[in-house]
Amino acid sequence: LTTTLPHNANRLIDTSERAAVDEWDELLGLQVDLFAAVEFNCLSRMEAWAHAQSVLEVGCGNGRYLAQLRSRFPKKDYVGIDLSPGLIAIANQRHRRSGLRFEQGDFLGTRPLPRCDLMILRFVVQHLDSFDAIIKRAAEGLEPKGSVIIIECDVARSAVSPPMPLFSGLLAAFEAHQSAEGRLRARLDQLATVIESLNAWRIASDAWISVSARGPFLGTKTEAVFEKWIDLCERAGGFAYPFDETREEVARWGHDGAASSMIALRMVELAYDRGA
Ligand SMILES: C[S@@+](CC[C@H](N)C(=O)[O-])C[C@H]1O[C@@H](n2cnc3c(N)ncnc32)[C@H](O)[C@@H]1O
Protein backbone atom coordinates (compact mmCIF):
# COMPACT_ATOMS: atom_id res chain seq x y z
CA LEU A 1 0.00 0.00 0.00
CA THR A 2 2.99 2.33 -0.12
CA THR A 3 2.15 4.77 -2.87
CA THR A 4 3.38 7.84 -4.69
CA LEU A 5 1.33 10.90 -3.82
CA PRO A 6 0.21 13.52 -6.31
CA HIS A 7 2.40 16.64 -6.24
CA ASN A 8 -0.11 18.80 -4.42
CA ALA A 9 -0.76 16.46 -1.49
CA ASN A 10 -0.11 18.14 1.83
CA ARG A 11 1.23 16.89 5.12
CA LEU A 12 -2.16 16.62 6.73
CA ILE A 13 -3.36 14.04 4.25
CA ASP A 14 -0.04 12.38 3.55
CA THR A 15 -0.94 8.70 3.36
CA SER A 16 2.20 7.60 1.52
CA GLU A 17 3.14 5.35 4.46
CA ARG A 18 1.11 2.27 5.31
CA ALA A 19 0.96 3.30 8.98
CA ALA A 20 -0.60 6.67 8.04
CA VAL A 21 -3.21 4.95 5.86
CA ASP A 22 -4.16 2.74 8.80
CA GLU A 23 -4.33 5.74 11.16
CA TRP A 24 -6.63 7.64 8.81
CA ASP A 25 -8.70 4.54 8.18
CA GLU A 26 -9.30 4.12 11.91
CA LEU A 27 -10.09 7.80 12.50
CA LEU A 28 -12.49 8.00 9.54
CA GLY A 29 -14.29 4.87 10.72
CA LEU A 30 -14.80 6.34 14.19
CA GLN A 31 -16.10 9.64 12.80
CA VAL A 32 -18.62 7.84 10.60
CA ASP A 33 -19.79 5.61 13.45
CA LEU A 34 -20.20 8.58 15.81
CA PHE A 35 -21.75 11.22 13.56
CA ALA A 36 -23.38 9.64 10.50
CA ALA A 37 -26.80 8.88 12.02
CA VAL A 38 -27.33 12.51 13.08
CA GLU A 39 -26.06 13.79 9.72
CA PHE A 40 -28.36 11.43 7.80
CA ASN A 41 -31.40 12.70 9.72
CA CYS A 42 -30.47 16.22 8.65
CA LEU A 43 -29.86 15.13 5.03
CA SER A 44 -33.20 13.36 4.89
CA ARG A 45 -34.94 16.69 5.59
CA MET A 46 -33.19 18.48 2.71
CA GLU A 47 -35.11 18.88 -0.53
CA ALA A 48 -31.89 18.73 -2.54
CA TRP A 49 -31.07 15.38 -1.00
CA ALA A 50 -34.55 14.01 -1.69
CA HIS A 51 -34.29 14.98 -5.37
CA ALA A 52 -30.72 13.84 -5.97
CA GLN A 53 -30.30 10.73 -8.09
CA SER A 54 -26.52 10.72 -8.45
CA VAL A 55 -24.22 11.59 -5.58
CA LEU A 56 -20.46 12.21 -5.73
CA GLU A 57 -18.55 12.13 -2.47
CA VAL A 58 -15.47 14.30 -2.90
CA GLY A 59 -12.67 13.13 -0.61
CA CYS A 60 -14.44 9.87 0.23
CA GLY A 61 -11.49 8.45 2.21
CA ASN A 62 -11.97 4.75 3.04
CA GLY A 63 -15.52 4.71 1.60
CA ARG A 64 -17.27 3.97 4.87
CA TYR A 65 -19.42 7.09 4.77
CA LEU A 66 -20.60 6.35 1.23
CA ALA A 67 -21.33 2.73 2.15
CA GLN A 68 -23.45 3.87 5.10
CA LEU A 69 -25.22 6.46 2.96
CA ARG A 70 -26.08 3.77 0.49
CA SER A 71 -27.51 1.42 3.08
CA ARG A 72 -29.68 4.24 4.52
CA PHE A 73 -30.67 5.71 1.08
CA PRO A 74 -30.35 2.80 -1.37
CA LYS A 75 -32.12 4.35 -4.36
CA LYS A 76 -29.36 6.75 -5.42
CA ASP A 77 -26.19 6.17 -7.47
CA TYR A 78 -23.00 6.83 -5.56
CA VAL A 79 -19.41 7.51 -6.64
CA GLY A 80 -16.47 8.49 -4.45
CA ILE A 81 -13.18 10.11 -5.39
CA ASP A 82 -10.15 10.68 -3.21
CA LEU A 83 -6.63 11.92 -3.60
CA SER A 84 -5.17 9.11 -1.49
CA PRO A 85 -4.38 5.90 -3.41
CA GLY A 86 -4.10 3.98 -0.12
CA LEU A 87 -7.57 5.00 1.11
CA ILE A 88 -9.13 4.35 -2.32
CA ALA A 89 -7.58 0.87 -2.30
CA ILE A 90 -9.29 0.20 1.05
CA ALA A 91 -12.60 1.61 -0.21
CA ASN A 92 -12.51 -0.64 -3.28
CA GLN A 93 -11.46 -3.69 -1.28
CA ARG A 94 -14.30 -3.30 1.21
CA HIS A 95 -17.15 -1.86 -0.81
CA ARG A 96 -16.78 -2.35 -4.56
CA ARG A 97 -18.58 -5.67 -4.48
CA SER A 98 -21.63 -3.94 -3.08
CA GLY A 99 -21.82 -1.85 -6.27
CA LEU A 100 -20.14 1.34 -5.05
CA ARG A 101 -17.62 3.02 -7.35
CA PHE A 102 -14.42 4.67 -6.10
CA GLU A 103 -11.80 6.50 -8.13
CA GLN A 104 -8.43 7.90 -7.17
CA GLY A 105 -8.10 11.50 -8.26
CA ASP A 106 -7.61 15.12 -7.30
CA PHE A 107 -10.91 17.01 -7.07
CA LEU A 108 -9.02 20.20 -7.91
CA GLY A 109 -7.16 18.62 -10.83
CA THR A 110 -8.03 18.83 -14.49
CA ARG A 111 -9.57 15.39 -15.10
CA PRO A 112 -13.33 15.50 -15.79
CA LEU A 113 -15.32 14.67 -12.67
CA PRO A 114 -18.02 11.98 -12.65
CA ARG A 115 -21.24 13.91 -13.40
CA CYS A 116 -23.74 14.12 -10.57
CA ASP A 117 -26.58 16.20 -9.25
CA LEU A 118 -25.26 16.36 -5.70
CA MET A 119 -21.74 16.58 -4.28
CA ILE A 120 -20.85 16.02 -0.66
CA LEU A 121 -17.64 17.34 0.84
CA ARG A 122 -17.49 15.91 4.35
CA PHE A 123 -14.48 16.96 6.41
CA VAL A 124 -12.68 17.83 3.17
CA VAL A 125 -12.93 21.62 2.92
CA GLN A 126 -10.63 21.71 5.97
CA HIS A 127 -7.85 20.31 3.78
CA LEU A 128 -8.29 22.81 0.95
CA ASP A 129 -7.40 26.47 0.66
CA SER A 130 -9.69 28.14 -1.90
CA PHE A 131 -13.48 28.37 -1.98
CA ASP A 132 -13.25 29.81 -5.50
CA ALA A 133 -11.45 26.70 -6.72
CA ILE A 134 -13.98 24.40 -4.98
CA ILE A 135 -16.96 26.23 -6.49
CA LYS A 136 -15.42 26.33 -9.96
CA ARG A 137 -14.75 22.57 -9.95
CA ALA A 138 -18.16 21.79 -8.47
CA ALA A 139 -19.81 23.71 -11.33
CA GLU A 140 -17.85 21.59 -13.82
CA GLY A 141 -19.12 18.31 -12.35
CA LEU A 142 -22.71 19.22 -11.50
CA GLU A 143 -25.76 18.81 -13.71
CA PRO A 144 -27.33 22.18 -14.75
CA LYS A 145 -29.29 22.23 -11.49
CA GLY A 146 -27.41 20.65 -8.64
CA SER A 147 -26.26 21.01 -5.06
CA VAL A 148 -23.18 20.84 -2.91
CA ILE A 149 -23.32 19.87 0.74
CA ILE A 150 -20.38 20.81 2.94
CA ILE A 151 -20.04 19.18 6.34
CA GLU A 152 -17.43 20.29 8.87
CA CYS A 153 -16.78 19.97 12.61
CA ASP A 154 -17.30 23.23 14.47
CA VAL A 155 -14.76 23.16 17.26
CA ALA A 156 -15.76 26.58 18.65
CA ARG A 157 -19.37 25.42 19.20
CA SER A 158 -18.45 22.04 20.65
CA ALA A 159 -18.07 21.47 24.39
CA VAL A 160 -17.07 18.87 26.93
CA SER A 161 -17.90 18.69 30.62
CA PRO A 162 -16.02 18.85 32.88
CA PRO A 163 -13.91 21.18 30.72
CA MET A 164 -10.62 19.86 29.31
CA PRO A 165 -8.54 23.02 28.84
CA LEU A 166 -5.56 21.20 27.31
CA PHE A 167 -7.66 19.26 24.84
CA SER A 168 -9.83 22.22 23.82
CA GLY A 169 -6.71 24.40 23.61
CA LEU A 170 -5.06 21.85 21.35
CA LEU A 171 -8.00 21.79 18.92
CA ALA A 172 -8.08 25.60 18.88
CA ALA A 173 -4.31 25.78 18.31
CA PHE A 174 -4.53 23.26 15.50
CA GLU A 175 -7.32 25.21 13.86
CA ALA A 176 -5.39 28.48 14.18
CA HIS A 177 -2.29 26.85 12.72
CA GLN A 178 -4.26 25.38 9.81
CA SER A 179 -5.89 28.74 9.11
CA ALA A 180 -2.51 30.48 9.19
CA GLU A 181 -1.38 28.00 6.53
CA GLY A 182 -4.34 29.09 4.40
CA ARG A 183 -6.70 26.16 4.92
CA LEU A 184 -10.42 26.78 5.05
CA ARG A 185 -11.22 24.80 8.18
CA ALA A 186 -12.21 27.71 10.40
CA ARG A 187 -13.26 29.99 7.58
CA LEU A 188 -16.64 28.59 6.50
CA ASP A 189 -18.21 31.98 7.22
CA GLN A 190 -16.28 33.41 4.26
CA LEU A 191 -18.16 31.09 1.91
CA ALA A 192 -21.19 33.42 1.99
CA THR A 193 -19.15 36.27 0.50
CA VAL A 194 -17.90 34.04 -2.33
CA ILE A 195 -21.41 32.75 -3.09
CA GLU A 196 -23.02 36.21 -3.03
CA SER A 197 -20.80 37.31 -5.90
CA LEU A 198 -21.95 34.42 -8.16
CA ASN A 199 -25.27 34.46 -10.05
CA ALA A 200 -25.60 30.70 -10.46
CA TRP A 201 -25.11 29.90 -6.77
CA ARG A 202 -26.99 30.51 -3.54
CA ILE A 203 -26.79 29.21 0.03
CA ALA A 204 -29.92 27.07 0.38
CA SER A 205 -29.38 26.20 4.06
CA ASP A 206 -26.78 26.56 6.78
CA ALA A 207 -27.38 24.51 9.92
CA TRP A 208 -25.60 23.24 13.00
CA ILE A 209 -26.35 19.79 14.31
CA SER A 210 -24.93 18.20 17.42
CA VAL A 211 -23.88 14.79 18.57
CA SER A 212 -24.20 14.50 22.35
CA ALA A 213 -23.17 11.71 24.68
CA ARG A 214 -22.83 11.07 28.40
CA GLY A 215 -19.95 9.34 30.18
CA PRO A 216 -18.17 7.50 31.46
CA PHE A 217 -16.32 7.49 28.13
CA LEU A 218 -13.59 5.01 29.02
CA GLY A 219 -13.18 2.60 26.09
CA THR A 220 -15.86 4.33 23.98
CA LYS A 221 -15.62 5.61 20.41
CA THR A 222 -15.89 9.19 21.70
CA GLU A 223 -12.75 8.74 23.82
CA ALA A 224 -11.04 6.95 20.93
CA VAL A 225 -11.82 9.76 18.47
CA PHE A 226 -10.45 12.35 20.92
CA GLU A 227 -7.23 10.32 21.22
CA LYS A 228 -6.97 10.11 17.41
CA TRP A 229 -7.45 13.87 17.08
CA ILE A 230 -4.55 14.39 19.50
CA ASP A 231 -2.40 11.99 17.43
CA LEU A 232 -3.36 13.87 14.24
CA CYS A 233 -2.47 17.25 15.75
CA GLU A 234 0.88 15.88 16.93
CA ARG A 235 1.68 14.28 13.58
CA ALA A 236 0.49 17.04 11.29
CA GLY A 237 0.13 20.13 13.45
CA GLY A 238 3.61 21.54 13.00
CA PHE A 239 3.63 23.19 16.44
CA ALA A 240 4.84 22.32 19.94
CA TYR A 241 2.25 21.36 22.58
CA PRO A 242 2.11 19.22 25.74
CA PHE A 243 0.60 16.31 23.80
CA ASP A 244 1.20 13.66 26.46
CA GLU A 245 -0.38 15.79 29.21
CA THR A 246 -3.36 16.28 26.88
CA ARG A 247 -3.68 12.51 26.51
CA GLU A 248 -3.61 12.17 30.31
CA GLU A 249 -6.35 14.81 30.63
CA VAL A 250 -8.57 12.89 28.19
CA ALA A 251 -7.87 9.63 30.05
CA ARG A 252 -8.93 11.23 33.38
CA TRP A 253 -12.06 12.62 31.72
CA GLY A 254 -12.80 9.14 30.36
CA HIS A 255 -13.04 7.79 33.90
CA ASP A 256 -15.46 10.49 35.05
CA GLY A 257 -18.98 9.07 35.35
CA ALA A 258 -20.51 12.57 35.17
CA ALA A 259 -18.67 13.60 31.99
CA SER A 260 -20.50 14.67 28.85
CA SER A 261 -19.61 15.64 25.31
CA MET A 262 -21.31 17.70 22.61
CA ILE A 263 -19.72 17.82 19.17
CA ALA A 264 -21.15 20.41 16.79
CA LEU A 265 -21.19 19.88 13.04
CA ARG A 266 -22.05 22.51 10.46
CA MET A 267 -23.91 21.51 7.30
CA VAL A 268 -24.02 24.05 4.49
CA GLU A 269 -26.13 23.39 1.41
CA LEU A 270 -25.31 25.27 -1.81
CA ALA A 271 -27.74 25.32 -4.72
CA TYR A 272 -26.44 25.63 -8.27
CA ASP A 273 -28.53 26.72 -11.27
CA ARG A 274 -26.56 27.07 -14.49
CA GLY A 275 -29.52 28.81 -16.16
CA ALA A 276 -29.77 31.53 -13.51
C1 LIG B 1 -10.92 13.83 6.80
S2 LIG B 1 -10.96 12.86 5.36
C3 LIG B 1 -12.71 12.64 5.13
C4 LIG B 1 -13.07 11.34 4.42
C5 LIG B 1 -14.56 11.11 4.24
N6 LIG B 1 -15.19 12.22 3.58
C7 LIG B 1 -15.24 10.83 5.56
O8 LIG B 1 -15.94 11.71 6.03
O9 LIG B 1 -15.05 9.73 6.11
C10 LIG B 1 -10.53 13.96 4.08
C11 LIG B 1 -10.27 13.25 2.77
O12 LIG B 1 -10.16 14.23 1.73
C13 LIG B 1 -9.22 13.77 0.80
N14 LIG B 1 -8.78 14.90 -0.03
C15 LIG B 1 -8.12 16.01 0.37
N16 LIG B 1 -7.88 16.82 -0.67
C17 LIG B 1 -8.42 16.23 -1.76
C18 LIG B 1 -8.49 16.57 -3.14
N19 LIG B 1 -7.94 17.70 -3.62
N20 LIG B 1 -9.12 15.72 -3.99
C21 LIG B 1 -9.67 14.57 -3.53
N22 LIG B 1 -9.61 14.19 -2.23
C23 LIG B 1 -9.00 15.01 -1.35
C24 LIG B 1 -8.13 13.16 1.68
O25 LIG B 1 -7.31 12.26 0.96
C26 LIG B 1 -8.95 12.49 2.77
O27 LIG B 1 -9.22 11.14 2.47
Residue 12 pLDDT grade (very low, low, confident, very high; cuts 50, 70, 90): low
Report which ligand 1 atom has the smallest distance to the Cα of 61: 27
Distance of CA 161 to the CA centre of its chain: 24
Selected residue with higher pLDDT from 34 and 15:
34
- pLDDT score of 6 more than 60: no
Indicate the residue type of 39. E
Segment 36-46, tens digit of pLDDT:
999 999 999 99
Note the maximum CA span of the chain: 57
Q: What is the pLDDT of residues 48-86, one digit of tens each?
A: 999 999 999 999 999 999 999 999 999 999 999 999 999
Distances (CA, A) of 222 to 8, 29, 93, 205: 32, 12, 27, 28
pLDDT at residue number 189: 82
* Ligand 1 atom nearest 32 alpha carbon: 9
pLDDT given at position 4: 40
pLDDT for 151-183, tens place per residue? 999 999 999 999 999 999 999 998 888 888 777
With pLDDT > 90 as the criterion, what percentage of the chain qualifies? 76
**Does the Cβ of 85 fall within 6 Å of ligand 1?**
no
Rounded CA-CA distance 230/20 in Å is 14
> pLDDT, tens digit, for every residue of 95-128?
988 889 999 999 999 999 999 999 999 999 988 8
Question: What are the phi and psi torsion angles at 275 (to 5°)?
Answer: -85, -5
pLDDT of residue 17: 85
Q: Is 27 in the pocket of ligand 1 (CB under 6 A)?
A: no
* Residue 2 pLDDT level (bands cut at 50, 70, 90): very low
Give CA–CA dist 207/268, Å, rounded. Answer: 6
Which residue's CA is the closest to the ligand 1 atom numbered 9?
A: 28
Position 190 scores a pLDDT of 84
pLDDT classification of 7: cutoffs 50, 70, 90: very low
Task: State the chain's mean pLDDT as an integer.
Answer: 91
Distance (Å) from CA 82 to ligand 1 centroid: 6
The 10s digit of each residue's pLDDT in 230-266 is 999 998 867 899 999 999 999 999 999 999 999 999 9
- CA-closest candidate to residue 142, choices 88, 200, 198: 200
Number of Cβ atoms within 10 Å of the Cβ of 144: 11
Distance between first and last Cα of the chain: 45
Instruction: Judge contact between 81 and 114, C-beta under 8 A.
Output: yes
How many whole angstroms from 248 Cα to the centroid of ligand 1? 30
Q: How far is the CA of 161 from the centre of ligand 1 (A)?
A: 30
Q: Are strands 142-153 and 116-122 parallel, antiparallel or unpaired?
A: parallel
Residue to mutate (ligand 1; options 1, 31, 83, 130; most atoms within 8 A of CB)? 83
H helices, E strands: number in the chain: 9, 8
Of ligand 1's listed atoms, the one at least distance from the Cα of 81 is 21
CA of 29 to the centre of ligand 1 (A): 13
Distance 259 CA to ligand 1 centre (A): 31
- Looking at residue 99, its pLDDT comes to 83
For ligand 1, mutation pick of 28, 62, 82, 125 (most atoms within 8 Å of CB): 82
> From the CB of 225, is ligand 1 less than 6 Å away?
no
Our answer on whether the CB atom of 87 is closer than 6 Å to any ligand 1 atom is: yes
Q: How far, in Å, is the centroid of ligand 1 from the Cα of 27?
A: 12
Strand extents, DSSP E, 16-75: 54-58
